[in-house]
Structure 1
């Protein structure tokens, strides 16, 4: 009788989203232990504000597939903690433009440094080609997920 490796079978039959969720839980634990008042959700907002300068709450809601009310709640917290600023749009007084403050930029650079270090440690046993392929597959997975909703 052939030996069955149930660990390999479990890996094959576990949905990818479960592994992503587990990584997210570990990330959440890391932020709780190392940062005061920062959650993975906050990091998602900070990173999107970093990559999309001069965005509005509506822009963030569209980028993150959440309600503007949800954005308002997170933005209020980030502003209170000094990580972002909101100023009125000169072309549309009802719209506020969101950007990172200097403290917000420092935090984002620190977070990016930590992420790159973690990825470096995680991927140290993989070839550059495997890493690129993995990242491309995750990106494709995220895009297909977005477009299937």
Structure 2
């Protein structure tokens, strides 16, 4: 007899999370064909969009990825002419990241895609229901990140 597990329960968080992630990736891919960007790169751009001059280290910490990953992503986005860096005036070893005009426009188009998906997901829910759901998922997300950091 096969062992029961979360894989065997259609409504398990694991299966739901997988479906949400896959659904979003497919949705984003279909809506962003002309942008030449993926969701992870959009998240990278979001950090710079909301905090111009942020360091690669702070982006890595905020996205829970390695600085090497951020360096690779930056290079890809730099080749696409979406980002550039400057030397920090107070610390010559630190590089500040910025969006180009094209980067700003690209990210703003990404925001619309994210907002459209969000609207579809939460259609029919009240503001309170949506907030409760977001709080619950955020709690689970934070626990997940803490597992990695142990």
Category of TM-score, reference length = shorter chain: 0.7 to 0.9
CA drift at 1:28: 5.2
**What are the within-5 Å matches in structure 2 for residues 119-130 of structure 1?**
119-130=118-129
Contact (CA 8 Å) 1:88, 1:96: kept in 2 or not?
Answer: yes
Q: Which residue of 2 aligns with 1:68?
A: 67
Q: Which residue of 2 aligns with 1:102?
A: 101
Change beyond 3 A, Cα 1:13–1:113:
closer
Are 1:54 and 2:53 matched, yes or no? yes
Change beyond 3 A, Cα 1:129–1:11:
farther
Aligned-CA RMSD value: 2.2
Q: Which residue of 2 aligns with 1:25?
A: 25
1:47-69: CA deviations, max 9, x gaps? 12223321111222222222222
- Misfit runs of 4+, over 4 Å: none
Stretches of structure 1 that go unaligned for 5 or more consecutive residues are 1-8
Contact (CA 8 Å) 1:27, 1:40: kept in 2 or not?
Answer: no
Q: Which residue of 2 aligns with 1:83?
A: 82
* Number of equivalences: 140
CA drift at 1:24: 4.2
| Structure with higher RCO (Cα < 8 A, 6+ apart) | 2
Length-normalised TM-score, structure 2:
0.79
Stretches of structure 2 that go unaligned for 5 or more consecutive residues are 1-7
State how far apart, in whole Å, the 1-side matches of 2:119 and 2:20 are.
18
CA drift at 1:27: 4.0
Length-normalised TM-score, structure 1:
0.80
